[in-house]
Amino acid sequence: MTIAHGRHDHLLAQHGSLAMGSRVPDLYVVVAMDDAWIESWRPEGTLRPTVVAMGSDPRGLPLAAARNAGFAVALERGADVVIGLDVDCLAGRDLVAAYADAAVREAHVAWTGPVTYLKPRARRGYDLAVLAGADDPHPARPAPEPGDVARRTPPELFWSLSFACHRDLWQRVGGFCEEYVGYGAEDTDFGRQLEAGGIELASEGSARAYHQHHDSEVPPRRHVPDLLRNGAVYARRWGSWPMEGWFETLAQEGLVVRDGADGWAPPPGVPGTRPPS
């Protein structure tokens, strides 16, 4: 299951990588967030996507709700294992097989896998046949070798770029909190839900993914309203603010200010973005 708004070239490449896997998914659900092109997408080949249309939200892309909607369709159609893959991610050859085996073998565990950030692609795109040659997983995340598992991954390292679990565990957790809209904090919240439920997060070394290059902004300045709104939701739910490093940097740039001992707010004169208490 993937969610998408734009990034059509990335979606097409992801589709191609899944079709080339050692195990092709039985169901490929794509949630189109306010994207008519994806809603009408009908690719050739044996892997035909099930496209779910989701409207827009004036506050931003409904990322959490879109993931929940996609997995709901997968479960309705009988999936016993659900895999979430960001639209920017290409699936390694054994990603689907490894996640499926792990989630059936240990249905009480939530799974993630190593993600490599690829360099900018050539004009003709990434060569899907040789992705493994570019393998260089993100250094801040667990990266067991293929065939190995890293146990007890810290829940704050949950990453919706690439993850999987058994259908029973997904239903037990209840999905992503849909109070989060737009960029930021819904992944950290999901990790906290795993921790609160006593659910182990582990990393499956054979479930390797490759993140296609795109321009990015660190810290994500254009998402400040989302970060403030979602940060306040997280603080209400868990008692502390997330993304502290980003907020500290944004404060140094004058884009946010301290609000109380550990909270954040827009600078004076900038409209607030907090949700109702």
**Phi, psi dihedral angles at 145 (to 5 degrees):** -70, 155
Q: Could you give the residue ranges of the DSSP H alpha helices within the chain?
A: 8-19, 36-39, 63-76, 95-105, 167-173, 186-196, 224-238, 244-252
pLDDT score of 57 more than 60: yes
pLDDT band at 269 (very low <50, low <70, confident <90, very high): confident
Report residue 218 CA to chain centroid gap: 18
Q: Kindly give the pairing relationship between strand 149-150 and strand 209-211.
A: unpaired
Average pLDDT over residues 64-76: 98
The model carries a pTM of 0.93
Distance separating alpha carbons of residues 100 and 224, to the nearest angstrom: 37
Give the mean pLDDT of the chain. Answer: 93
Q: Where in the chain is the domain with CATH 3.90.550.10?
A: 2-211
Which tokens go with 233?
């939701």
The separation between the first and the last C-alpha atoms of the chain, rounded to the nearest angstrom, is: 33
pLDDT band at 261 (very low <50, low <70, confident <90, very high): confident
Per-residue confidence (pLDDT) for residue 125, from 0 to 100? 82
% of the chain at pLDDT higher than 70: 97
Per-residue confidence (pLDDT) for residue 272, from 0 to 100? 52
Whether the Cβ atoms of residue 182 and residue 96 lie closer than 8 Å to each other: no
Whether the Cβ atoms of residue 156 and residue 238 lie closer than 8 Å to each other: no
What is the CATH class of 2-211?
A: alpha beta
Distance separating alpha carbons of residues 83 and 173, to the nearest angstrom: 15
Distance separating alpha carbons of residues 188 and 24, to the nearest angstrom: 29
